């Protein structure tokens, strides 16, 4: 039977988020019965650090920046979330506050769900809880990567990484980002960002005009970034998609690992 156009579009919108796509059909259906599909414009504020979350968001085409709470006129982006993840997924674990500000930096669409309803779904769906817990672990690891990257790697490397991450999340080589956006994302002065972007443009890897960046040569841009970009991808794929060892069919629990003798760390 042919799927009506509106229903077909709804299925495509659902599967456009990787976490929703990974849920079983029944869990996904129940979750989305409580969700609405929303358009989010650039600069929309979704949450403020230290306050209660009203909604969680499963992006399909938008990109959300997690920012350190405002300190004077300086902002620092700590993470980016797009169709591969969720913002506010901790609600499913009963945690309704957020440590960071969340702002839409790439306009697009997302599934929005009430925080309390997501908590209820987390209680009733072990698969959803497992998926969102794993994504929280990914975010934790990526925050660690971000701290290392900001401290040790060059601005040009970090700019290349930021552009690649944005391209991944927006699924587009056209990025509507200003130098101020990039300056925030990198926690760097605008003048330094302009120089680094000029270097990448001189190499023919990007083309930028006011408020717009086009990634012209992704393969070569990959050679300009640091290992952090690849490490984040490995953490995501290993954490999210590695199967959990199955328990025996007779219902007996797998034995917990027993502590072994102390080992010497490598010197």
Q: Which of 149, 186, 193, 196 binds Zn ion (CB under 5 A)?
A: 149
Q: Considering beta carbons, is residue 3 or 148 the nearer one to Zn ion?
A: 148
Q: Considering beta carbons, is residue 153 or 207 the nearer one to Zn ion?
A: 153
Q: Does 165 bind Zn ion (CB under 5 A)?
A: no
45-47 sheet: strands from edge to edge: 45-47, 101-106, 63-67, 77-81
Supply the minimum distance, in Å, between the C-beta of residue 231 and Zn ion. Answer: 8
Q: Are 108 and 59 in contact (CB under 8 A)?
A: yes
Question: To which H or E segment does residue 199 belong?
Answer: helix 190-202
**What does DSSP assign to residue 70?**
P
Strands (E), 75-121: 77-81, 101-106, 108-114
Supply the minimum distance, in Å, between the C-beta of residue 257 and Zn ion. Answer: 33
Q: Considering beta carbons, is residue 67 or 228 the nearer one to Zn ion?
A: 228
Q: Which of 160, 226, 232, 235 binds Zn ion (CB under 5 A)?
A: 226
- Phi-psi category of 149—alpha, beta or left, where left has phi over 0 and alpha has psi -120 to 50? alpha
Could you tell me whether strands 101-106 and 108-114 are parallel, antiparallel, or unpaired per DSSP bridges? unpaired
Query: Considering only 131-139, 184-192, 219-227, 259-267, which stretch makes contact with Zn ion by CB under 5 A?
Result: 219-227
Supply the minimum distance, in Å, between the C-beta of residue 164 and Zn ion. Answer: 11
Supply the minimum distance, in Å, between the C-beta of residue 150 and Zn ion. Answer: 8
Supply the minimum distance, in Å, between the C-beta of residue 173 and Zn ion. Answer: 22
Q: Are 101 and 35 in contact (CB under 8 A)?
A: no
Residue 119 tokens read as 């908590």
Supply the minimum distance, in Å, between the C-beta of residue 221 and Zn ion. Answer: 14
Interaction residues for Zn ion, span 167-196 (CB under 5 A):
none
Q: Does 218 bind Zn ion (CB under 5 A)?
A: no
Q: Which burial class, exposed, middle or buried, applies to 258 when counting CB atoms under 10 A from its CB (0-12, 13-18, 19+)?
A: exposed
**Per rule CB under 5 A, count of chain residues that contact Zn ion:** 4
Q: Does 228 bind Zn ion (CB under 5 A)?
A: yes
Q: Which residue has the tokens 């944005």?
A: 166
Query: Considering only 56-64, 72-80, 117-125, 143-151, which stretch makes contact with Zn ion by CB under 5 A?
Result: 143-151
Q: Which of 10, 117, 141, 153 binds Zn ion (CB under 5 A)?
A: 153
Supply the minimum distance, in Å, between the C-beta of residue 153 and Zn ion. Answer: 4
CB atoms within 10 A of CB 151: 7
Q: Considering beta carbons, is residue 129 or 227 the nearer one to Zn ion?
A: 227
- Phi-psi category of 58—alpha, beta or left, where left has phi over 0 and alpha has psi -120 to 50? beta
Q: Which burial class, exposed, middle or buried, applies to 48 when counting CB atoms under 10 A from its CB (0-12, 13-18, 19+)?
A: middle
Q: Considering beta carbons, is residue 67 or 149 the nearer one to Zn ion?
A: 149
Supply the minimum distance, in Å, between the C-beta of residue 167 and Zn ion. Answer: 16
Q: Considering beta carbons, is residue 53 or 228 the nearer one to Zn ion?
A: 228
Chain residues that interact with Zn ion, rule: CB under 5 A: 149, 153, 226, 228
């Amino acid at each position: 039977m042919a799927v009506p156009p509106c229903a077909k579009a709804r299925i495509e919108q659902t599967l456009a988020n990787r976490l929703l796509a990974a849920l079983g059909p029944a869990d996904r259906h129940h979750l989305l019965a409580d969700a609405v599909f929303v358009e989010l414009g650039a600069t929309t504020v979704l949450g403020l650090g230290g306050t209660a979350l009203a909604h969680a968001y499963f992006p399909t085409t938008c990109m959300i920046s997690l920012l350190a709470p405002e300190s004077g006129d300086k902002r620092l982006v700590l993470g980016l979330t797009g169709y591969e993840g969720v913002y506010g997924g901790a609600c499913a674990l009963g945690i309704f506050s957020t440590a960071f500000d969340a702002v839409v930096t790439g306009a697009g669409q997302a599934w929005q769900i009430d925080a309390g309803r997501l908590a209820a779904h987390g209680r009733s769906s072990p698969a959803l809880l497992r998926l969102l817990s794993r994504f929280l672990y990914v975010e934790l690891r990526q925050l660690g990567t971000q701290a290392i990257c900001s401290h040790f790697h060059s601005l040009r490397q970090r700019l290349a990484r930021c552009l690649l991450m944005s391209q991944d999340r927006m699924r587009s080589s056209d990025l509507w980002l200003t130098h101020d956006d990039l300056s925030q994302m990198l926690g760097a002065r605008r003048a330094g960002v302009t120089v680094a972007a000029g270097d990448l443009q001189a190499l023919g890897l990007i083309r930028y005009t006011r408020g717009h960046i086009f990634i012209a040569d992704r393969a070569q841009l990959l050679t300009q970034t640091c290992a952090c970009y690849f490490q984040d991808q490995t953490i995501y794929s290993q954490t999210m998609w590695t199967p959990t060892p199955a328990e025996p069919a007779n219902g007996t629990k797998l034995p917990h690992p027993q502590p072994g003798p102390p080992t010497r760390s490598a010197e």
